[in-house]
Chains A and B, each alone.
Chain A
Amino acid sequence: MMLEIKDLHASVSDTEILKGITLSVASGSVHAIMGPNGSGKSTLAQVVAGHPSYEVTGGDILLDGESILELEPDERAQKGIFLAFQYPVEIPGVTNAYFLRSAYNELRKARGQEEIDPMEFLDLMTEKLKLVDMDPAMVHRAVNAGFSGGEKKRNEILQMAVLEPKLAILDETDSGLDIDALRVVAEGVNKLRRPDRSTIVVTHYQRLLNYVVPDFVHVLVDGRIARSGGKELALELEERGYDWVLEGAVA
């Protein structure tokens, strides 16, 4: 297993959000995490990436068989974890090119590789820009500063394309996107699918899953996985609503 989450409990300021999550993600598979607002699905994404606001109070997260709980977010990234943010952060004054090259070089350093030179990196970026249909001028603009919602989400996928993670977690990447932008982002994600790369798609709605087709769907309710299934589970949810699962969870 690439990723194993075992009976994971996590809290934020003494309120327990995750109440025992167990989940295994094999290499090359796509898992969708769905659930109503407040079910803990975004928390799960952030806890795997190492957000400092959450305290893990029980259980474990293993990447390739090793616990990552003690690792800083940058160390997790160096091991191949990538989180596409629901609300990407603006960094005025720092260009996309500089930011991504810094990140890319940190990952290379961690793997004992030489730093890439700026011209070579620009070629690499230009190549990856095509994946998300982004204007090449965007690489010289400050990271997310003044970007539209759609541009920010594309930029997340661009970062993912450049950093080539082992495990990509997309946290509500579909929120705030119109259908055209959604399609572009989804195509970008699909082009990045590989047998040695896994993807976790966190989403409230089924529509993204029309484009990024999952192997497994898990429904989170109140910090626990209430139901797991194949891609048809997402369609059933779309049809019957979350109430259907909520009733099941109570019973």
Chain B
Amino acid sequence: MTLASYRDQFAAFTDNGGRAGPAWLPALRRRAFDRFAATGFPTTRDEDWHYTSVSPIAESTFRLVRPAASSVDLSAIAPYLINPSWSRLVFVNGRFSRELSTFAELPAEVDVTTLDDALRTDAAYLESQLGEHARIDHNPFAALNTAFVTDGAVVRIPADCVVEKPIHVLWVSDAAAADAIVCPRVLVTAGRHSRVSIIESFVGLAPERSFTNSVTEIRLDDGARVDHHRIQRESTDAFHVGTVQATQRRNSVFHSFSFAAGARLSRANIYTTLAEPGCEARLNGLYLLSGRQHCDHQTYVHHAAELCVSREMYKGILDDESHGVFNGKVLVDAVAQKTDGKQTNHTLLLSDRARVDTKPQLEIFADDVRCTHGATVGRLDETALFYLKSRGIHRDTARALLTYAFAAEALGEIEIDELRDALQALAFERYNDSVLG
């Protein structure tokens, strides 16, 4: 039934020109929509979606947001900026806001634009990159995003360029996003030996039932390093699905951090392909859930070349009746000898009714590799609690401090001091305010 609604909206979108653009774009959208229409939304019979039912998304009708005058001003987004002097692109309900954005601290040679602008000025480049990394064949949500792709951020870092300050891409939604689907799109290409940090935030300013379906594509050329941070703080009525997909060339380094505290139902796909020898990938994450929130992370590290290293550490804190899912897939091709892979997932349960599903999935076709995985699920350590109490600290405060410490350790992987401090402060408030009053 709702597939029909997407079909109608796609037809209307196409009739309106889908916005003017290069000739290849309508064809890309059409291919993507056909792909989506052929598979529909995944079900729990699909191995990749076994623990997460997206039926609340599949059975709802979401409309595309029409451009409207936005009431979101700087004071509304100020709490989410981390550092207001950093360059940022702000999108409100999927539309770029020039007033809220700034490009203050960028080196001249760095090219940061909106997808809309890049389609006009750099169409050939976009044709070669858009949809090249986040493939639509096995990812219906990426297909849906691509079908409706309109605006987003394009970051091009030339060879040997080191961008000192992070670039912040902030997706905010407000009351106008009620019952709407927003399809954020980001493309990052990092040239040889360049270096850049990207922060991508998803923020819900109003308690609306909206659906964010994002795709971020990242290409790392030889020796490039990209740190990508995904900060998901949607409203707890919202639905959120996001894919980050990186392609790594020789000796490149990709660090990803996925923080999730929002949305009623969320899924983050963090995928990277180590396409050439000597690459490193670090995928870390932290999810803090309460109420009836459901949060699923699927990571996929494809070791397609020899001598690559991958490290993953995901941690979750689950309270009330929340449900956390971690599925870590590692594929080691036959050619990927000397692969060194390690994956861990630790869950802290604060409630008897919370639920966790953790599933490592290692497929190894090379014979000279070292791959390990480990998972723990548990409660606060009694000895650690005793340690704090033996210093005179009350039981409730001790529990709060140790819960915070569990989160803080995961956040310690973030190398941008201000971002790490901001998220640690957020976690501290979340678990300590109630007891410290």
Contact = CB atoms under 8 A, between A and B. Distances in A.
A30 to B, nearest CB: 20
B233 to A, nearest CB: 20
B36 to A, nearest CB: 42
Contacts, number: 85
A78 B397 CA distance: 15
A88 B387 contact: yes
A77 B382 contact: no
Given A77-B392, A91-B384, A93-B424, A102 B405 contact: no
A189 interface: no
Interface magnitude class on chain A = 20 to 34
Contact of B395 (A72, A78, A92, A100): A72
B408 A106 contact: no
Q: Which of A81, A83, A93, A94 has the most CB of B within 10 A?
A: A93
B409 A93 contact: yes
Contacts of B397: 102, 106
Contacts of A89: 381, 383-384, 387-388
A163 B404 contact: no
A133 to B, nearest CB: 22
Interface in B387-424: 387-395, 397-398, 401-402, 404-405, 407-409, 411-412, 424
A93 B392 contact: no
B386 interface: yes
A77 B398 CA distance: 14
A106 B393 contact: yes
Interface in B360-386: 381-384, 386
Contact of A91 (B386, B390, B401): B401
A73 interface: yes
A77 B391 contact: yes
Interface in A49-86: 49-53, 72-74, 76-78, 81-83, 85
Contacts of A72: 389, 395
B392 A163 contact: yes
B382 A74 contact: no
Contacts of A173: none
B390 to A, nearest CB: 5
Contacts of B409: 92-93, 145
A61 to B, nearest CB: 15
B404 A93 contact: yes
Given A93-B405, A94-B401, A74 B393 contact: yes
A74 B394 contact: yes
Contacts of B407: 93
A103 B393 contact: yes
Given A73-B386, A85-B387, A102-B397, A92 B392 contact: no
B408 A77 contact: no
A52 B386 contact: yes
A159 interface: yes
Contacts of B424: 93
Interface string A100-121: 1011001100100000000000
Q: Which of B381, B383, B392, B424 has the most CB of A within 10 A?
A: B392
Interface residues of B, number: 26
A77 B390 contact: yes
Nearest to B409: A92
Contacts of A93: 404-405, 407-409, 411-412, 424
A101 to B, nearest CB: 11
A83 B390 contact: yes
Contacts of A102: 393, 397, 401
Interface in A147-184: 159, 163
Nearest to A106: B392
Nearest to A88: B387
B394 A94 contact: no
B387 A163 contact: no
Contacts of A51: 386
Contacts of B412: 92-93
Interface in B224-240: none
Contacts of A145: 409
A81 B386 CA distance: 13
Contact of B389 (A74, A92, A110): A74
Nearest to A91: B405
A89 B386 CA distance: 10
Contacts of A110: 392
Interface in A2-60: 49-53
B66 to A, nearest CB: 44
Interface in A92-146: 92-94, 99-100, 102-103, 106-107, 110, 142, 145
Contacts of B401: 91, 94, 99, 102
Given A91-B402, A91-B405, A163 B391 contact: yes
Contacts of B383: 89
A107 B390 CA distance: 11
A74 to B, nearest CB: 4
Task: Return the 10 tightest CB-CB contacts between A and B, nearest first.
Answer: A93-B408, A77-B392, A92-B409, A73-B389, A103-B391, A89-B387, A106-B392, A74-B389, A89-B384, A107-B392
Given A99-B401, A106-B397, 8 more contacts: A74-B390, A74-B395, A74-B398, A89-B387, A93-B424, A94-B408, A103-B388, A103-B393
Interface of B: 381-384, 386-395, 397-398, 401-402, 404-405, 407-409, 411-412, 424
20 contacts: A50-B389, A53-B382, A73-B386, A74-B389, A74-B393, A74-B394, A76-B390, A77-B392, A81-B390, A85-B390, A91-B401, A91-B405, A92-B405, A93-B407, A93-B409, A102-B401, A110-B392, A145-B409, A159-B391, A163-B391
